[in-house]
Amino acid sequence: MRQRYTLLLVDDQDVNLTILEAILKDSYDIATARNGQEALALMAVSPTRFAAIVLDVIMPVMDGYAFLQAKATHPEYQNIPVLVATAAQDADSEERCLTLGAWDYIPKPYQPRTVRLRLTNIIARSQEGLLEQLVYVSEHDHLTGLLNRAAFFQAMGACLRAMPDAPYSLVRMDISRFSLINTLYGTEEGDRLLLHIAGAVRHAAEEVPDSCCGRIEADVFCLCLPCAGPELKRTLSAIQRDLAAYASHYYIEPCFGVLRITDRAMECEAMYRCATLASRQSKNHYQNHVAYFVPEMTVRDHQEQLVANEMEQALEDGQFIVYLQPKYDIRDGQPCGAEALVRWQHPERGLIPPDVFVPVLERNGFITRLDAFMWEQTCILLRRWLDSGVTPCPVSVNVSRQDLYDPHLVRRMLALVRRYDIPPALMQLELTESAYMDNPQRMHAVVMRLRRAGFTLLMDDFGSAYSSLNALQDIPVDILKMDMHFLAPSRNEERGHSILYAMLRMAEALNLPVIVEGVEKRAQCEFLRSIGCRYAQGYYFSAPLPVVDYEMLMEQKQHRSSSAKSCVPLPDARAH
């Protein structure tokens, strides 16, 4: 049985309404209105109630033209067809109504057959339009208009089937710390950025025939492209350039995970999982934001899952422990402080280094709890040393970028050192350079407050991220920490040395002390000494030590120093 539609008849003349009702009442349910305003009021109650409207043109209060204009401002009425009833041979008003959005017209006096036929036609047309709209909505992302997840996988399947021999790649892209952009600048800005990214992705796909693109969820976009190698790199570089040009006040860091499609029998969803595993890898690299899937990643994924399953219990059971790696003053070869580094004493797997689990915890957010634990353990140690009558050397702790987004960070840090009655200068804070670059203004504010509270700030991994040496003048840190490995890769030691030398000179000009970490060889130590670097850390001096070993080392030092004075701690740049 055919569905019974409801019509809205709009006319101020009773006689016209009666005639129309008589023609249509067998096939339709009927509602009536005396002018445009009444009609709009009825539609507002239930926008989807009417299958079509038959509209008189000349009416009091609101005529047919004004009604059509008002209707056009409501997108939800777009699909309700309007049949305008005009006096015969009134070509002008017919044309005017059609331009205003009427779908068709019927001349008065009414011919029953014509009225019924034209109504049936426009209703059928509107149903088709509705169907098209439904299909569109179900396949496209409402914000960006790109294909949504399901539709993208279908389009991808179609591309792969159509071109069985082309070297396709699946690219997954997202933005590092996108949720922060929403938090800091509001969802409206977040949406604007997503629209921009969608534009960049769409443009890239349009440049490559037989490709497709879509938005999978949130800030995750995908491209399926019939290329690999340099051609693919060019496409990704173009997207990177486009995104880099978007905002001047924050840094957009796209991360790409790429699967070179070799096994065509794989489900598209499974291919997507591979690209996702690859993209996680790209997040761990400073400069290289493109990572290609390799099968070992599946194994790693499994290991990550293990870490995530066990971390809560491990923290509760005290499986995370503090190791201390001494820092040395290379002028007299004496230890002058330490860095607290976490280790996981796993009941079955033994001692696990942080490289295995810290990146996982950074991704799932647990790192903030582990860091808080490490800071407290460090306070406990410092308290113990103070109680035993020695003036301890400062110990630095690592502060993750996630910690910096805690609005209570400064208060929490202060509460902690107060609880254990530790001078803040004894607890130094290592912040990785790339965290500064995420959002320099905000970091500036947090760092200033931490310094005002008495903490000493070290910029960890300096030179690894994006800051130019010039930017140093604006960054309020006390000490720069550089990694020998970043600066002197074994391939070109000489060049690394000259970079290190230049950086040291620059730091000197800015009155910033430097500590070089990762010093493994005597020659490196000699070189550092020769260029006037004062502080170093690395296996050449000592690996990270269990706390008891560190305590022994410091005791020996005390015995050695004839005056029995406490060690010379790492300086505080503000004293310069």
Q: How far is the CB of 466 from Ca ion (least distance, A)?
A: 16
List the x/- string, 392-411, binding to ligand C2E by CB under 6 A. ------x-x-----------
List the x/- string, 303-342, binding to ligand C2E by CB under 6 A. ----------------------x---------------xx
From start to end of 410-546, where are the E strands?
Answer: 427-432, 456-462, 479-483, 514-517, 535-537, 545-546
CA-wise closest residue to 481 among 496, 462, 504, 501:
462
Q: Which stretch binds ligand C2E (CB under 6 A): 80-88, 222-230, 304-312, 513-521?
A: 513-521
Q: What gap in Å lies between CA 322 and CA 377, rounded to an integer?
A: 7
374: partner contacted, choices ligand C2E, Ca ion, none (Cβ within 5-8 A by kind): ligand C2E
Out of 239, 544, 551, 567, the only residue in the binding site for ligand C2E (CB under 6 A) is 544
Identify the sign of the CA torsion 349, 355, 360, 365.
Answer: positive
304: partner contacted, choices Ca ion, ligand C2E, none (Cβ within 5-8 A by kind): none
Is the Cβ of residue 94 or residue 461 nearer to Ca ion in the bound state?
A: 461
Is the Cβ of residue 304 or residue 430 nearer to Ca ion in the bound state?
A: 430
538 touches ligand C2E by CB under 6 A: yes
Q: How many residues bind Ca ion (CB under 5 A)?
A: 4
For 297-332, letters b (16+ CB in 10 Å) and e give beeeeeebeebeebbeebbeeebbebbbbbbbbbee
The answer to whether 174 and 201 are in contact (CB under 8 A) is: no
479: partner contacted, choices Ca ion, ligand C2E, none (Cβ within 5-8 A by kind): none
Q: Which stretch binds Ca ion (CB under 5 A): 109-117, 142-150, 353-361, 394-402?
A: 394-402
Q: How far is the CB of 354 from ligand C2E (least distance, A)?
A: 4
544: partner contacted, choices ligand C2E, Ca ion, none (Cβ within 5-8 A by kind): ligand C2E
Q: Taking each helix axis from N to C terminus, what angle separates 187-207 and 229-244, rounded to the nearest 10 degrees?
A: 150
460 touches ligand C2E by CB under 6 A: yes
- The structure tokens 């203004």 sit at 441
Non-local (6+) Cβ contacts of 440 within 8 A are 471, 474, 475
Residue of this chain nearest to ligand C2E (CB atom) = 538
Q: How far is the CB of 195 from Ca ion (least distance, A)?
A: 38
Is the Cβ of residue 329 or residue 461 nearer to Ca ion in the bound state?
A: 461
DSSP assignment of 113-169, as one string?
A: HHHHHHHHHHHHHHHHHHHHHHHHHHHB-TTT-SB-HHHHHHHHHHHHHH-TTS--E
Out of 261, 518, 533, 554, the only residue in the binding site for ligand C2E (CB under 6 A) is 518
460 touches Ca ion by CB under 5 A: yes
403 touches Ca ion by CB under 5 A: no
DSSP assignment of 316-360, as one string?
A: HTT-EEEEEEEEEETTTTEEEEEEEEEEEEETTTEEE-HHHHHHH
Q: How far is the CB of 550 from ligand C2E (least distance, A)?
A: 13
Q: Taking each helix axis from N to C terminus, what angle separates 149-162 and 112-139, rounded to the nearest 10 degrees?
A: 80
CA-wise closest residue to 29 among 4, 3, 62, 64:
4
**Does residue 109 have a cis peptide bond before it, meaning omega lies within 30 degrees of 0?**
yes
538: partner contacted, choices Ca ion, ligand C2E, none (Cβ within 5-8 A by kind): ligand C2E
- Phi (first) and psi of residue 401, to 5 degrees: -65, -30
The residues of the shown chain that bind ligand C2E, judged by CB under 6 A, are: 325, 341-342, 353-355, 358, 367, 371, 374, 398, 400, 430, 460-461, 517-520, 538-539, 544
The residues of the shown chain that bind Ca ion, judged by CB under 5 A, are: 398, 430, 460-461
